[in-house]
Amino acid sequence: MCNVRMTALLTLTDGAVTCRHCAAARPFPFVGPHLAYLVVSTNRIEECRAFYESLGLVFQWERHGDGPEFPEHYAARFRGGIVLELYPARGRGPSGPRRLGVVLPPTGGPAGYEVMRDPDGRTVEAITPGPDRME
């Protein structure tokens, strides 16, 4: 599937999501509502990108369309498909303080739990599974 992920360009039919931009399709077992993406507005986009990359996310710089209503931003996909998008706040100010829980890849060591803050002060709870949860 291509980088274009605007809802208007995706069609769900017969258990598959099809992108009308590139015609790619992939299975999509719909079992009920689910979270697809989370948008964070920030005045510190590079610092936030670096913070979340330190947790293992890989961001791409992207833009979904033309014009000021489609600003460039960073996007990263979590395992399971949820997308985290970092948008420049552009005078609106950063998104308010929220809490984000992230499960990190297992390290082979004991389970871990750490509470930290991103550059805008949002609480991030990082959970590392123990060896009994290595799947």
Q: Is the pTM of this model over 0.85?
A: no
The mean pLDDT value for 115-123 works out to: 92
> In a 3-state reduction of DSSP, which class is residue 52?
helix
Give yes or no for a contact between 37 and 84, defined as CB atoms under 8 angstroms apart.
Answer: yes
Select the CATH number that applies to the domain covering 35-133 from these four: 3.20.20.450, 3.10.180.10, 2.60.40.1120, 3.40.50.880: 3.10.180.10
Domain ranges of the chain: 1-30, 35-133
Tokens found for residue 55: 């947790």
pLDDT tens for 7-61 read: 444 454 555 555 555 555 555 555 556 678 889 999 999 999 999 999 999 999 9
CA of residue 78 relative to chain centroid, distance: 6
The torsion region of residue 102 among left (phi > 0), alpha (psi -120 to 50) and beta comes to beta
Residue with tokens 């069609």: 11
